[in-house]
Amino acid sequence: MIKNKNITLLSHILVWFVLFSMPYLLSYGQEQELDRVIIHFWIPLLLSSILFYLNYFLLIDKYLFTKKTVWFVLINIIFIVFFIYIKESIEDVFFQNITRNRPSSNKNSTGPPFKMFIYIQMVSYMAPLLFSIVVKTTKRWVKTEAERKEAINFKLQSELQHLHYQLQPHFFFNSLNNIYAMVDLSPEQAKKSIHSLSKLMRYMLYETNEESISLTKEIDFMKKYIELMKLRVSDKTTIDYSFPKTETSIQIAPLLFISLIENAFKHGVAASKPSSINMNMTCTNKTVLFTIENTNFPKKSNDKSGSGIGLQNLEKRLQLLYPDKYIFQTEVILNRFVVNLEIETI
């Protein structure tokens, strides 16, 4: 902020320095009368700068931006007339030898009419007035745009944080439901599952608060979750998965794929029917493609388990994190539910 203010101050000083130096730069090597330079350039320029900064720092904010346009116009007219009067008075008092040649209303005068002379002076003061309005309006627009973008970014960050916190209890709730189903059938497996779940929750609580994490860590988390879920399925269920085996430098938002895996175990496994889940992830340059196919056992209308929040949460997060950089498709093919998620990482 301080740096921007210093740049603005220096730019204003530079502009006015150039303007005040212009008559000398344009007439370098030529004879020139100092009196004429002062009258025809320095004094109008000084008055114009006063009019510019008067509007820039006071009148535009107080009247124009508050929609008191009539007052704004009237006050500027008064100041312009006053400045013309000041200029004429200075010329009459200090530069009589030059003002003798000033245009007058005398009919025998060969110069332009006095009214036209005054009109030209009034028009000349419109330039700093309009310039101050343009500069101030542009500055206000830039500030407003920056504040708008900051507000949007804050809103997006808040929404992402809300979705992230929403995902954790959803994941925990689903995992506990699965472990609960094992308690009576296999207490030892239930104990092992609780231990595995504690490791997964530790990862979710302490390592996923960053905007992006290593894809390798995320893959390791998914593998542990899949192994945990395999403890509760019967021998009639086949689970195959394939992830990149080598270390990858790709960074990705945490917990994007877990909802898809949860959904596959929830709707792709039946206790008494043959079931299968196939998962495959490939990486090409900075693009990650994750595909899941599972047998389709649609949720019954009277099944109140879960809330369907997983895929909705994923869709919202993708929209916020990777706008126009992802493809998310779901379809049923030959009684198999197929999900394709392609993400172009940065």
118 token code pair: 């005054």
Quick one: pLDDT at residue 122?
Answer: 72
Task: Find the mean pLDDT for residues 190-199.
Answer: 77
pTM: 0.53
How far apart CA 150 and CA 156 sit, in angstroms, is 10
How far apart CA 80 and CA 313 sit, in angstroms, is 62
How far apart CA 163 and CA 157 sit, in angstroms, is 10
How far apart CA 106 and CA 161 sit, in angstroms, is 79
**What letter would DSSP give residue 326?**
E
Q: Are 294 and 323 in contact (CB under 8 A)?
A: no
210 token code pair: 């960053």
Q: How many residues are listed for the chain in this entry?
A: 346
Which pLDDT band, with edges at 50, 70 and 90, does 70 fall under? very high
* Chain center to CA of 150: 6
**What letter would DSSP give residue 155?**
H
Question: How far are the Cα atoms of 112, 269, 290 from residue 250, in angstroms, in the given order?
Answer: 76, 32, 14
More confident residue, 204 or 74: 74
Q: Does domain 153-344 have CATH number 3.20.20.70?
A: no
pLDDT over 60 at 25, yes or no: no
Quick one: pLDDT at residue 307?
Answer: 46
Indicate where the chain has its CATH 3.30.565.10 domain(s). 153-344
83: left (phi over 0), alpha (psi -120 to 50) or beta: alpha
Instruction: Give tens-digit pLDDT for 283-318.
Output: 988 899 999 999 988 766 555 444 456 777 788 888
**What letter would DSSP give residue 299?**
P
Instruction: Give tens-digit pLDDT for 138-151.
Output: 888 888 888 777 76
Mean pLDDT in the chain?
Answer: 77
Instruction: Give tens-digit pLDDT for 208-242.
Output: 777 888 999 989 888 988 887 887 777 888 999 99
How far apart CA 218 and CA 212 sit, in angstroms, is 10
- Close Cβ partners of 70 (under 8 Å, ≥ 6 residues apart): none
Quick one: pLDDT at residue 30?
Answer: 45
CB pairs under 8 A, 24+ apart, for 147-154?
none
Task: Find the mean pLDDT for residues 105-111.
Answer: 48
285 token code pair: 């340059």
pLDDT over 90 at 342, yes or no: yes
Of the listed ranges 9-23, 45-59, 84-98, 129-143, the least confidently predicted one is 9-23
More confident residue, 56 or 204: 56
Q: Are 222 and 204 in contact (CB under 8 A)?
A: no
More confident residue, 145 or 331: 331
Quick one: pLDDT at residue 26?
Answer: 47
